[in-house]
Amino acid sequence: MKYIEPHGHMVSRTTDDYQRMALAGCVAICEPAFWAGFDRASAQGFYDYFRQITEYEPKRAAKFGIKHFSWLCINPKESEDLQLADDVLALIPEFINKPNVLGIGEIGLNKNSRNELMILEKHIQIAADYDQLILVHTPHLEDKLKGTRLILDALKNHSQIKPERVIIDHVEEHTIDLVLDQGFWAGMTLYPQSKCSPHRAIDMLEQRRAERIWMNSACDWGVSDPLAVPKTMLEMRQRGWSESGVQRVVLENPMAFMGQSPKFHLAG
């Protein structure tokens, strides 16, 4: 069965991972800009990173028959340095029209600080100015609920932002209703040790009838599994999900959200 990995940090992955994902049925990977496992020293580091995820990673993915899309931003972890953040924001217009760029992301909050919030609002403005989709990272563990509330408020306070064009990622049991009930999309991140296990994810899918939800593996520089989505598909079948139900979550939902960008297509 085909599936989409809607949130994968492939710059930290090998060609073996691309091959295994292709064998498991992956047809497209979407790569949000984020922390790279280390703090970059200057905006030049981000310039090279943006080139990597808009020019080189699509070519690497294509060798395995996988489409590659990306998102642009400075992540909340590094946006504490306001000068660096402004310098990186100034680079975005140069890359926003690249053929594989779907929008602004993954923006959001990490420690819910004032500086992070200020840069989040600037990103939201760029998304509005360029009519882009938004992908949001929510903070981990104990800060998640507060951070999610702050992020949703910042999005709702902007008159040009439509909730159906925003996905709030890394939701958990205590934040998913808040997100979906206000019209946003929700992403669940399947991590081996932290965040969400397959069973927890499937419980949430069943409670919310798989509406406006996708699943991803993040597959980043930390402990993570690039095959977390297909492994969860297997568990869905074992729990009695129909093939069409599984397909809706792993293929049709990501296509419906990202298809709001004219650049998203699976053919060719």
Phi, psi of 117 (to 5 degrees): -65, -40
The Cα–Cα gap between 202 and 215 comes to 10
State in angstroms the smallest separation of the CB of 98 from Zn ion: 19
State in angstroms the smallest separation of the CB of 106 from Zn ion: 5
Binding residues among 58-97 for Zn ion as defined by CB under 5 A: none
Contact yes or no for 9/219 (Cβ under 8 A): yes
Compare residues 34 and 46 and give the one whose CB is closer to Zn ion: 34
Binding segment toward Zn ion, per CB under 5 A, in 34-42, 153-161, 178-186, 258-266: 34-42
State in angstroms the smallest separation of the CB of 145 from Zn ion: 19
State in angstroms the smallest separation of the CB of 232 from Zn ion: 17
For Zn ion, which residue of 3, 18, 34, 95 counts as binding (CB under 5 A)?
Answer: 34
**Binders of Zn ion: how many residues, by CB under 5 A?**
2
H-helix or E-strand containing 3? strand 3-5
The alpha carbon of 156 is separated from its chain's Cα centroid by a whole number of angstroms, namely: 19
Binding residues among 199-258 for Zn ion as defined by CB under 5 A: 218
Contact yes or no for 263/69 (Cβ under 8 A): yes
Contact yes or no for 33/9 (Cβ under 8 A): no
Nearest to 258 by CA among 125, 132, 99: 132
State in angstroms the smallest separation of the CB of 209 from Zn ion: 26
State in angstroms the smallest separation of the CB of 34 from Zn ion: 5
Asked if 3 interacts with Zn ion (CB under 5 A), we say no
User: How would DSSP label each residue in 133-201?
Assistant: EEEEE---GGGHHHHHHHHHHHHHTSTT--GGGEEEES--TTTHHHHHHTT-EEEEEB-SSSSB-HHHH
Compare residues 107 and 205 and give the one whose CB is closer to Zn ion: 107
Compare residues 107 and 246 and give the one whose CB is closer to Zn ion: 107
Compare residues 37 and 183 and give the one whose CB is closer to Zn ion: 37
Compare residues 34 and 50 and give the one whose CB is closer to Zn ion: 34
Residue least distant from Zn ion (Cβ): 34
Compare residues 137 and 212 and give the one whose CB is closer to Zn ion: 137
The Cα–Cα gap between 217 and 184 comes to 20
Which two structure tokens, joined as six digits, stand for 7? 């949130």
Compare residues 3 and 34 and give the one whose CB is closer to Zn ion: 34
**How many other C-beta atoms are found inside a 10 Å radius of the C-beta of residue 55?**
13
User: Binding residues for Zn ion, per CB under 5 A?
Assistant: 34, 218
